[in-house]
Structure 1
Amino acid sequence: MSAPYIKDEHEIFRKSLRKFLEKEAYPYYEQWEEDRMIPRAFWKKMGEQGYLCPTIDEQYGGSEVDWGFAVVINEELERVGSGLVGIGLHNDIVIPYITAYGTEEQKQKWLPHCTTGEMITAIAMTEPGAGSDLAGIKTTARLEGDHYIVNGQKTFITNGIHSDLIIVACKTNPSAVPAHKGISLLAIERGTPGFSRGRKLNKVGLHCQDTAELIFEDCMVPKENLIGDEGKGFLYLMEKLQQERLLVAIAAQVAAEEMLQQTIEYVKSREAFGKSISRFQNTQFKIAEMATNIEMGRVFLDQLITEHMQGKDVVTKVSMAKWKLTENAREIATDCMQLYGGYGYMEEYEIARRYRDIPVASIYAGTNEIMKVIIAKNMGL
């Protein structure tokens, strides 16, 4: 059964995108993993075909389509591999800060380049000493004349190497009480004096996704690069984290679906003790359990996406989906690898990569423990 938000035009779009990815992504993905980087040329090809920022206004280079098209893009990119998560972050996490809170001048300056792939974006919240506790960030931005002077360090930044425009969470009022009221968002561009990149981080998984440290040492940022109002950065982050966490849930669901399908094909073809291992009761029970969890996850997720597109407040449900679907995916990765036996531990099988890639989904965009805190709080506990 098709999801409520999926129409004929979405399926036509999916077929076109899948054909594009079969030509431009699938054949090269393993090489990108080895290179530890997705080439910028791929971003530009995505832009040329209209797959970057399709939901924004036509006057800025977008197609003004509904968010269902963004879901299709994120699903199909996840089918290729989890390392393409940076494109979803660009399209559906960073760009919405500009479209929702940016000035007209900011939109005209940056958005057209973001739709072509000439300008790749990132968002910098996490610091060496502050992750889930966003109010505890130490990066400061002091206004002096026409510029903010930014000092601090960010880490685990998706698109950290490629990024040309970074939305940075910083303290414009370090003495604010409560602390979160002192947070503002600044857009910092590549080449800004005082901005440099630290290490490209060597991760357990998501090898082709560039993740890096960012360093700001008396970084001079024009005051015109302030996103929205000073002191409202934390509020903006909270408003947009709903969609970010929904994206993580979508990716986890698709990863689980892919792993199960590949494992079903494998157990049918693999023989042991004179018969296909798909005929063993243990295999059948495991497959049945995974298929049930995946089906229930998909129904919940599709309804949640529909409600999100309708503009409903689904913070609690998004938190539920984020933690539950990422936990499902992690358990399914383990069970699928077990069914592969020793071959599942070999790099030649995709399940090995999926097994590496999926665990971080329960950490980023707010840990699953934080998701449970949000759920409990919203239940009045």
Structure 2
Amino acid sequence: MGIIDTEALLNEEEKLLVRSIREFVKKEIEPIVDEYEAKKKFPIHLMPKMGELGIFGAMFPEEYGGTNYGVTAEMLIIEEIARAAGGIAATVLVQVLSLLPIFKYGSEKQKREYLIPGIKGEKVGAVAVTEPNCGSDVAGIETRAIFKGDKLVINGSKMFITNAPFANFFTVAVRTGPPEPKRHLGISYVIVDKDTPGLNIERTLDKLGWHTSETAELSFSDVEIPKENIIGKEGHGFYYIMDVFNHEHLFVGAQSVGMARACLEQAVEYSLTRKAWGKPIAEFQAVSHKIADMWTQLLAARTLLYYAGRLTDAGVDAVKEMAAAKYFAGEMVNKVCYDAIEIFGGLGYMMECPVQRYYRDARVQTIGGGTSEIQKNIISRRLLKRKGEG
């Protein structure tokens, strides 16, 4: 058993899943992390291997190539991968999020063309919602799509798009209706293939962390797509995107927990072997209490996270719990990684020390996928909703 018993309360199916993912990570990811961190590239050769193992299909039914294990199972997968590399976990979770609206709201044709090969890892997806002037305010997007016969013509730009440099398709938020009277009613969610004329990767973005995840800015200049590429109903995209974002809260929370586990495990091991004044630094109360705090925060975040996951799998409306899990885990991983560097001291500040990577990766966890402040807004709105409100 590790620093936390990650198999406690799991069913046999989930235990086998975690063990298989852990073995995959040990064999396929851990040996190459440093190499791809230095390259600032995602190891794209892993996609079909991940697909074969079912990493992208835990939430989807067997008829499309999934395993139908549920949301919690996907969270367990992401946690184990993030324990080795936060950036690779980011790529995985975005792949799943790009497939989710196609499964839930898309046509059978869309499922055949994107969902099935996406689950297999044969096609890579990216979620293109955020814009240079619009992040958390999804209803404020400026990218436009105008109907032209049986096609849509898209103009605009997207920013901070994970997987964009090597994605085969994008699920894109566009405005197809007027911004009045309610801004969110005019938004549609569409699929755009990477080779569509007018779609360009303007630049790849150099990030503080997540170096094994690739990110870019996109531009759309008179990009024409068939109307059949609209996911679900035209004008309903805002609701589909909110559904994607709610699941993202759980996945990013799982990513945070995985990274914090790795940092805490390394800090504990180091504290037991590093000596000062003739004894292991773990014997100094300043260090041992810090480790106790780190473990308690990690356990609390992980417990909240999987409570929200179980509620979601049970069909319960768990939007505020999802937000709470993302918020708490994001704040927790930043504190745990900070304290891990404190325990390592000067070595923790060196690039040769793995905890510095987790520290850099952790910084985005309170920003990406919805800031901590946005999560508090979601929680408080749900808690303070007056009787009779919709």
TM-score (norm 1): 0.96
The Cα of 1:48 is off from its aligned counterpart by 2.6
| Deviations 1:279-332 (CA, angstroms, capped at 9, x unpaired) | 111111111111222222222222221111101111112211211111111011
Residues 163 and 25 of structure 1: CA distance in aligned 2, closer, same or farther (over 3 Å): same
Question: In the alignment, which residue of structure 2 is the partner of 1:97?
Answer: 101
- Residue type matched to 2:95 in 1? H
| Equivalent-residue separation in structure 1 for 2:9 and 2:188 (angstroms) | 35
Counterparts in 2 of 1:95 and 1:328: CA distance versus 1, 3 Å:
same
Q: CA offsets per residue over residues 124-159 of structure 1, 9 Å max, x none? A: 111000011111111000010121000000010011
CA contact (8 A) 1:37 1:208 kept: yes
Inter-CA distance 257–101: structure 2 relative to 1 (3 Å threshold)? same
1:227-284: CA deviation from partner (whole Å, max 9, x where unpaired): 0111111111122322110111111122222211110100111111222111111111
Residue in structure 2 matched with residue 206 of structure 1 by the alignment: 210
Alignment deviations for residues 178-197 of structure 1 (CA, whole Å, 9 cap, x no partner):
11111100100110111111
Could you list the runs of 5+ residues in structure 1 that have no partner in the other structure? none
**Aligned match of 2:358:** 354
Secondary structure of 1:174 counterpart: coil
Distance 2:55 2:383 in 1: 38
1:186-239 alpha-carbon deviations (Å, 9 max, x no partner): 100110111111111000000110010111000011111000111111111122
What is the count of residue pairs matched by the alignment? 380
The equivalent of 2:245 in structure 1 is 241
* SS of the residue 1:24 aligns to: helix
Q: Structure 2: state its 5+ residue gaps.
A: 386-390
Per the alignment, do residues 58 and 380 of structure 1 end up closer, same or farther by CA in structure 2, a change over 3 Å counting? same
Is 2:30 the partner of 1:31?
A: no
> Of the candidates 97, 106, 111, which is equivalent to residue 107 of structure 1?
111
Partner of 2:378: 374
Q: Where does residue 303 of structure 1 map in the other structure?
A: 307
Alignment partners' CA distance in 2, 1:45 and 1:236? 29
Percent of pairs with identical residues: 36
**Partner residue in 1 for 2:92:** 87
What amino acid does structure 1 have at the position aligned with 2:184?
H
- Distance in 2, Cα, partners of 1:190 & 1:61: 23
SS of residue in 1 equivalent to 2:173: strand
1:373: how far off?
1.3
Q: 1:182 aligns with which of 186, 191, 195?
A: 186
Letter in 2 for 1:292: T
| Contact kept? 1:198, 1:214, Cα under 8 Å | yes
2:177 to 173, 176, 179: 173
Separation in structure 2 between the aligned mates of residue 249 and residue 39 of structure 1, nearest angstrom = 23
What's the CA shift for 1:3? 6.5
1:142 maps onto 2:146 in alignment:
yes
Quote the Cα distance in structure 2 between the aligned partners of 1:217 and 1:113.
27
- 1:50, CA displacement in angstroms? 2.8
- Distance in 2 (CA, whole Å) between partners of 1:130 and 1:20 is 38
The 1:299/1:50 distance shift into structure 2, 3 A limit, reads closer
Residue among 134, 150, 154 paired with 2:158: 154
> Paired residue for 1:337, among 322, 337, 341?
341
Q: Aligned AA for 2:237?
A: G
In structure 1, distance between residues paired with 2:254 and 2:25: 18
1:124 lines up with 2:128 in the alignment:
yes
Which is further off, 268-277 or 338-347?
268-277
Note the C-alpha offset of 1:58: 2.5
For normalisation by structure 2, the TM-score amounts to 0.94
Q: What's the CA shift string for 1:350-369, capped at 9, x where partnerless?
A: 10000100010100111111
Letter in 2 for 1:31: E
Of 319, 322, 325, the match for 1:321: 325
Q: Could you tell me how far apart the structure 2 residues matched to 1:374 and 1:51 are?
A: 29
**Residues 66-117 of structure 1: CA distance to partner in whole angstroms, max 9, x if unpaired?**
33331221111111110111112212x1211001110111111222211222
Q: Distance in 2 between matches of 1:47 and 1:319?
A: 28
User: Distance in 1 between the 2:239 and 2:294 partners?
Assistant: 38
Partner of 2:298: 294
Task: Name the amino acid aligned to 1:60.
Answer: Y
SS in 2 for 1:52: coil
What's 1:10 paired with? 14
